[in-house]
C-alpha cells in the first residue's frame, strides 16, 4: 500500500481524506479529474489529490522548474508536452516541422539536452524524478497513468 497523506498545501485549501469518501463523492471527484478541459498538469494534480498526497505546483528554484513537487518525499514530477520535449512514446512528437528544419531541430534538440541535464541535476540534489507525457494524460489511459504514478510514489 502507498502512504496516504492529507492534502494541506493546496491553494484551494480543500482537505482531502480519501477514506472518508463514499462512492458518490469519489465518482464526482473522478469525473472532475476526467474533465476534458483540464490541462495535463491539472489532470495529474487531480490524480495526486485523489490519492491524498500533498504537493506544490511552484518549484521555481529547482533545476528545470518541475511542474509538481512532493516536498515530503523529495520527489518531482514533470508533465511534458509531447512535441516540445520530443516524447519517445507517440508518433505525433516525432514529426518535426519541415519549414525551417534547422531551426526547429536545434531548438528541440536543445530542449531534450536541457531536460536530460535538469534530471541529472535534480537527482544529484537527491530528488526522484518522474516524467509524465502529455499523451499519457488522455482519458482512456487514466488507469495506466495512475499505475505509473503509484509505482513512482512507491519509491518514496
User: What count of residues does the chain have?
Assistant: 156
28 grid coordinates: 464526482
For 84-139, list the strands marked E by DSSP.
128-133
Residue 137 C-beta: closest distance to Zn ion, Å: 10
Interface with Zn ion (CB under 5 A), residue from 62, 135, 142, 156 = 135
How far from the centroid of its chain's Cα atoms is residue 32's Cα?
17
Here's the x/- map for Zn ion, 95-134, by CB under 5 A: it reads as: --------------------------------------x-
- Min dist CB 90 to Zn ion, Å, is 3
Residue 99 beta carbon to Zn ion: minimum distance, rounded to whole angstroms: 22
Query: Alpha-carbon distance 103 to 65, whole Å?
Result: 24
Per CB under 5 A, the list member of 90, 108, 112, 142 interacting with Zn ion is 90
- Kindly state the helix (H) or strand (E) to which residue 100 belongs, with its residue range: none
Q: Give the nearer residue to Zn ion in terms of CB position, either 10 or 86.
A: 86
Q: Establish how many alpha carbons lie within 13 A of residue 87's alpha carbon, considering only the half-sphere containing its beta carbon.
A: 20
Sign of CA dihedral 107, 108, 109, 114: positive
3-state secondary structure 27-47: HHHHHHHHCCCCCHHHHHHHH
> What is the footprint of Zn ion within residues 25-54 (CB under 5 A)?
none
Q: By C-beta, is 1 or 95 nearer to Zn ion?
A: 95
By CB under 5 A, name the one of 76, 82, 149, 153 that touches Zn ion: 82
Residues that bind Zn ion in the complex, under the rule CB under 5 A: 82, 87, 89-90, 133, 135
Amino acid at each position: 500500500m502507498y502512504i496516504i497523506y492529507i492534502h494541506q498545501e493546496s491553494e484551494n485549501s480543500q482537505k482531502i481524506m480519501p477514506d472518508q469518501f463514499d462512492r458518490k463523492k469519489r465518482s464526482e471527484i473522478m469525473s472532475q479529474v476526467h474533465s476534458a478541459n483540464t490541462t495535463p498538469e491539472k489532470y495529474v494534480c487531480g490524480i495526486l489529490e485523489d490519492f491524498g498526497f500533498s504537493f506544490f505546483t511552484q518549484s521555481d528554484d529547482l533545476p528545470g522548474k518541475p511542474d509538481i513537487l512532493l516536498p515530503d518525499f523529495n520527489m518531482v514530477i514533470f508533465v511534458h508536452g509531447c512535441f516540445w520535449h520530443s516524447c519517445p512514446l507517440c508518433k505525433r512528437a516525432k514529426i518535426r516541422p519541415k519549414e525551417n528544419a534547422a531551426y526547429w531541430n536545434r531548438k528541440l534538440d536543445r530542449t531534450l539536452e536541457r531536460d536530460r541535464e535538469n534530471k541529472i541535476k535534480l537527482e544529484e540534489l537527491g530528488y526522484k524524478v518522474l516524467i509524465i507525457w502529455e499523451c499519457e494524460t488522455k482519458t482512456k489511459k487514466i488507469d495506466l497513468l495512475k499505475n505509473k504514478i503509484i509505482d513512482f510514489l512507491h519509491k518514496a
